[in-house]
C-alpha cells in the first residue's frame, strides 16, 4: 500500500485530492492535510481510502454544485474523518460500491447528505449528517449504520426504500417531516436508536415493509411515535414513545406486528384506525362557504387549499410521500370582509378532513396575548395557543403585536417570538390564522425572521361592493324574519356607495349596524300606531325606517 499526501501548504504534497487519486493504485491511501478543498471526486472502479490527517480539519466542498462532492461506483472506497458538503446533489453518493465511512460529517443544501443506491454494501460508523434537505437515503442497498447522528433535516431524517439496513445506537433528531421513513418492501432493523423532535411521525412503515425495532426511544414528535401501515409486519420489542401524538404506536388495519415489552410478549394491541374523514360534512361546509355573499377570490383560494389537503391525505394513507406543509394562513383585508366567518368554516373543514382532531375556534386579540411584565406575555400566549390546540387560533388585528405598533418596552414582540416556536412545534395540531389590514400585515410578517415561513399563504379579502352589501343586509333581514320594501331595497345601495368612500368603512359590519338601526326605527314607528301591528307590518321594513336610522 502506498500513502499519498495532499496539502495546500506542504512542499512536495499533492495540492488537490484529485491529483493524488490520479496516480493512486489499488489499495492505496490518500492522506489529506487540513484545509478546504473545492472538488468533485468521482471514484469509479477504484479501491482507495481517503483519510484526513487530523479529524475535523478537512472540508471537501462540491466545486460543481449540481454533482455530488464524492461519487463512488463499482469499487471499494473508505472515507475517514472528512467533512463533505454538497449543494444541489448529495454530499456522498454511491452505487454498486463497498463503502466504509468513519467519523465523517456530511451535508447537502438541496439533497441528501448521504445517498446510497443499488447494490451498495455500506458500513457507516460515528458519522454525522447535519443541515441537509434529506438525511440519509438508502435505495436497494444493505449494510450497517452505527453510532451515527442525523440532525437538522428539512424533510425525512432517514429514508429506506427497498433496502435492508441495520441501524444501531443512532440519533435522529429535528427532522422537518418523518424521523425514519420505510417503504417499498424494505426490511430494516433499528436497535437502541433515539428518534426525537420529528415534524410528523417518528418511524413510519408502509408498502408491505417489515421492521424490527429493539429498545428504541421515540419522543417529542408532532405525529404518532411509530406508525405501521397495512400489509406491514415485523416486531417492536422494548420500545418507548414519549410526548408524541396519540396513540404512541399506531397499527393500521391489516398490519401484522408483534409487540414485545421488556423481553416478554405484550398485551394485544388492537389496530387503531386513522383519523376519520367525513366527506359529506366537508361538502356541506364547502357549500356553506360558497353560499356567502361575494368573496369569489377567497372562495377559490380556500377550495384550492382543501383540494390539496384532501389529496395529500389520500397520498399519506397510501404510503406515498407528501411535501411538508402547514395549515397556518394570513387573512388580509379591511374589517367586516368575512375573515372571521371564513376562518370558522376553514377550521371545521380541517376537522372534517381528519387533518385536525377538532374544529374548535378560539379568537384572540393583542390584549389576550400580551402581558404586563417580562415572561408574562409568553405565558399568556402559550395558554391561548394550548386552548386552541386541535382547532383554529384566530388572531385579529395581528399587526398590533409587531414592534412598530408599540414602544421600545412593548411585549408584543415577545408574543410573536413565542408564536413562531409554537406554530412550528405543533404545526399538525392547529391552524393559526393571523388577520388584519393588508398593508399592516406585511409589517407583522417582518417582525420575526421565521414568521413568514410559518404561514402557508396569504388570502386577500376584497371590500364588498354596494350591491353585495345590500345582499348581506337582505340576508340578515330574512334570517330574522324581516323583509325589505321595494323602495327601501332600491335605496340602500346608494347609502352604501356613499359610505364606502370612507377609509374606516366597516363593510359587513356597517351592514349589520344599519340593519340594527332600521329594525329599531321600525319598532319605534310601530309603537306609535297605538294598536297591535299585523303580522305583515311586524315583518316589513320601510324606506322611512332607513331615513330614521341614518338621521
CATH number of the domain that 117 lies in?
2.160.20.10
Asked whether the beta carbons of 49 and 71 are under 8 A apart, the reply is no
Q: Is the pLDDT of residue 281 over 80?
A: yes
Task: Please tell me which of 153-162, 445-454, 525-534 the model is most confident about, judged by mean pLDDT.
Answer: 153-162
Cell 401524538, located at residue: 245
The predicted-structure confidence for 346-358, as pLDDT tens digits, reads as follows 888 888 887 777 7
Assign residue 402 the CATH number of its domain: 3.40.50.300
* Whether residues 74 and 105 fall in one domain: yes
For residues 391 and 525, state if they share a domain.
no
| H/E run at residue 152 | strand 149-153
Per-residue pLDDT tens digits for 33-74: 999 999 999 999 999 999 999 998 999 999 999 999 999 999
Q: Is the pLDDT of residue 275 over 70?
A: no
Full residue range of the structural domain in which residue 193 is found: 30-265
Domain-located, residue 400: yes
Residue among 103, 93, 86, 88 nearest 72 (CA): 93
Q: How far apart are CA 302 and CA 431, in angstroms?
A: 14
Check pLDDT > 70 for residue 277. no
Neighbouring CB atoms inside 10 A of 268's CB total 6
pLDDT-derived band at 515 (thresholds 50, 70, 90) equals confident
Residue 162 to residue 180: CA distance in whole angstroms: 14
| Burial (CB count <10 Å: 0-12, 13-18, 19+), residue 199 | buried
Q: Which residues pair with 141 in a beta bridge?
A: none
**Domain end (from 454, 479, 504):** 454
* Domain identity same for 444 and 473: no
**Is it the case that residue 531 has pLDDT exceeding 70?**
yes
Checking DSSP bridges between strand 245-251 and strand 171-175, what pairing results, if any? unpaired
Tell whether 103 is covered by a domain.
Answer: yes
Q: Are residues 440 and 493 in the same domain?
A: no
Residues 479 and 345 in one domain: no
Assess if residue 7 is contained within a domain: no
pLDDT of the residue at 142: 95
3-class secondary structure for 517-535?
Answer: HHHHHHHHHHHCCCCCCCH
Average pLDDT over residues 21-43: 96
Please provide the size of the chain in residues.
551
Q: In this model, does residue 290 exceed pLDDT 60?
A: yes
Q: Mark whether 243 and 304 lie in a shared domain.
A: no
Burial of 273 (0-12, 13-18, 19+ CB in 10 A): exposed
Q: Do 401 and 546 share a structural domain?
A: no
Task: Quote the pLDDT of residue 189.
Answer: 97
Residue 273 lies in a domain: no
Assigned domain for 333 exists = yes
Q: Is the pLDDT of residue 409 over 60?
A: no
Q: Can you tell me the distance from the alpha carbon of 493 to that of 6, in angstroms, rounded to the nearest whole number?
A: 83
Average pLDDT, the chain: 86
Which pLDDT does position 332 carry in this prediction? Answer: 87
Distance (Å, rounded) from C-alpha 337 to C-alpha 448? 27
485 in the same domain as 443: no
Q: For the chain, how long is the longest CA-to-CA vector?
A: 116
Are 222 and 144 members of one domain?
Answer: yes
Higher pLDDT, residue 230 or 359: 230
Residue 472: inside a domain = yes
Q: What is the DSSP pairing of strand 329-333 with strand 149-153?
A: unpaired
Pair 82, 227 in one domain: yes
More confident site: 19 or 369: 19
What number of CA atoms fall less than 13 Å from residue 455's CA on the CB side?
21
Bridge partners for 233 per DSSP: 210, 256
The answer to whether residues 207 and 230 touch, using CB atoms and an 8 Å cutoff, is no
pLDDT digits (tens, 9 = 90+) for 139-186: 999 999 999 999 999 999 999 999 999 999 999 999 999 999 999 899
pLDDT at residue 428 above 90? no
Asked whether residue 291 falls in the same domain as residue 233, the answer is no
Number of domains in the chain: 3
Position 462 scores a pLDDT of 84
pLDDT band at 107 (very low <50, low <70, confident <90, very high): very high
**Which of 454, 477, 492 corresponds to the end of one domain?**
454
4 located within any domain: no
Does residue 15 sit within a domain? no
C-alpha cell at 373: 411584565
Q: What's residue 502's pLDDT?
A: 67
Task: Note the pLDDT tens digit of each residue in 81-103.
Answer: 999 999 999 999 999 999 999 99
The predicted structure's pLDDT at residue 408: 44
What CATH number has the domain bearing residue 501? 1.10.8.60
CA–CA separation, 197 and 239 (whole Å): 17
Chain centroid, CA 83 distance in Å: 30
Final residue of a structural domain among 199, 232, 265: 265
Q: Where is pLDDT greater, at 461 or 179? A: 179
Same domain? For 431 and 507 the reply is no
Amino acid at each position: 500500500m502506498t500513502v499519498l499526501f495532499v496539502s495546500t501548504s506542504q512542499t512536495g504534497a499533492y495540492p488537490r485530492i484529485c491529483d493524488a487519486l490520479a496516480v493512486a493504485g489499488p489499495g492505496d491511501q490518500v492522506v489529506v492535510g487540513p484545509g478546504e478543498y473545492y472538488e468533485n471526486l468521482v471514484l469509479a472502479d477504484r479501491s482507495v481510502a481517503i483519510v484526513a490527517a487530523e479529524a475535523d480539519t478537512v472540508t471537501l466542498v462540491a466545486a460543481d454544485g449540481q454533482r455530488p462532492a464524492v461519487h463512488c461506483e463499482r469499487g471499494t472506497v473508505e472515507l475517514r474523518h472528512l467533512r463533505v458538503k454538497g449543494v444541489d446533489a448529495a454530499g456522498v453518493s454511491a452505487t454498486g460500491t463497498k463503502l466504509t465511512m468513519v467519523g465523517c460529517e456530511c451535508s447537502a443544501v438541496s439533497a441528501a447528505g448521504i445517498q446510497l443506491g443499488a447494490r451498495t454494501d455500506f458500513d457507516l460508523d460515528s458519522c454525522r449528517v447535519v443541515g441537509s434537505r434529506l438525511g440519509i437515503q438508502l435505495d436497494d442497498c444493505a449494510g450497517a449504520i452505527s453510532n451515527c447522528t442525523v440532525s437538522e433535516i428539512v424533510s425525512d431524517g432517514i429514508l429506506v426504500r427497498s433496502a435492508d439496513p441495520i441501524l444501531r445506537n443512532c440519533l435522529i433528531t429535528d427532522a422537518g417531516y418523518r424521523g425514519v421513513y420505510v417503504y417499498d418492501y424494505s426490511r430494516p432493523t433499528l436497535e437502541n436508536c433515539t428518534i426525537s423532535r420529528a415534524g410528523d411521525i417518528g418511524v413510519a412503515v408502509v408498502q408491505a415493509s417489515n421492521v424490527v425495532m429493539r429498545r428504541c426511544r421515540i419522543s417529542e414528535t408532532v405525529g404518532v411515535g411509530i406508525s405501521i401501515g397495512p400489509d406491514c409486519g415485523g416486531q417492536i420489542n422494548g420500545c418507548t414513545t414519549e410526548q408524541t401524538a396519540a396513540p404512541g404506536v399506531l397499527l393500521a388495519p391489516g398490519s401484522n406486528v408483534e409487540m414485545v415489552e421488556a423481553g416478554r410478549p405484550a398485551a394485544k394491541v388492537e389496530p387503531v384506525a386513522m383519523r376519520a374523514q367525513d366527506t359529506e360534512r366537508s361538502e356541506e361546509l364547502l357549500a356553506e362557504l360558497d353560499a356567502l355573499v361575494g368573496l369569489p377570490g377567497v372562495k377559490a383560494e380556500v377550495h384550492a387549499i382543501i383540494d390539496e389537503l384532501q389529496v395529500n391525505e389520500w397520498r399519506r394513507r397510501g404510503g406515498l410521500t407528501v411535501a411538508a406543509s402547514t395549515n397556518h394562513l394570513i387573512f388580509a383585508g379591511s374589517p367586516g370582509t368575512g375573515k372571521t366567518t371564513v376562518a370558522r368554516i376553514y377550521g371545521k373543514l380541517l376537522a372534517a378532513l381528519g387533518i385536525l382532531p377538532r374544529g374548535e375556534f378560539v379568537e384572540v386579540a393583542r390584549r389576550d396575548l400580551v402581558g404586563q411584565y417580562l415572561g408574562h406575555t409568553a405565558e399568556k400566549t402559550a395558554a391561548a395557543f394550548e386552548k386552541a390546540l386541535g382547532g383554529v387560533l384566530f388572531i385579529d388585528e395581528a399587526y398590533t403585536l409587531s414592534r412598530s405598533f408599540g414602544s421600545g418596552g412593548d411585549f408584543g414582540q415577545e408574543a410573536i417570538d413565542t408564536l413562531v416556536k409554537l406554530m412550528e412545534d405543533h404545526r399538525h395540531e392547529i391552524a393559526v390564522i393571523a388577520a388584519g389590514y393588508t398593508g399592516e400585515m406585511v409589517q407583522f410578517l417582518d417582525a420575526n425572521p421565521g414568521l413568514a415561513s410559518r404561514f402557508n399563504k396569504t388570502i386577500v379579502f376584497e371590500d364588498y361592493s354596494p350591491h353585495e352589501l345590500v345582499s348581506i343586509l337582505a340576508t340578515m333581514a330574512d334570517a330574522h324574519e324581516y323583509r325589505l320594501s321595494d323602495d327601501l331595497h332600491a335605496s340602500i345601495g346608494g347609502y352604501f356607495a356613499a359610505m364606502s368612500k370612507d377609509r374606516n368603512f366597516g363593510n359587513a359590519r356597517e351592514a349589520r349596524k344599519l340593519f340594527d338601526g332600521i329594525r329599531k326605527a321600525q319598532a319605534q314607528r310601530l309603537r306609535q300606531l297605538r294598536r297591535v301591528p299585523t303580522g305583515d307590518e311586524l315583518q316589513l321594513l320601510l324606506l322611512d325606517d332607513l331615513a330614521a336610522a341614518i338621521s
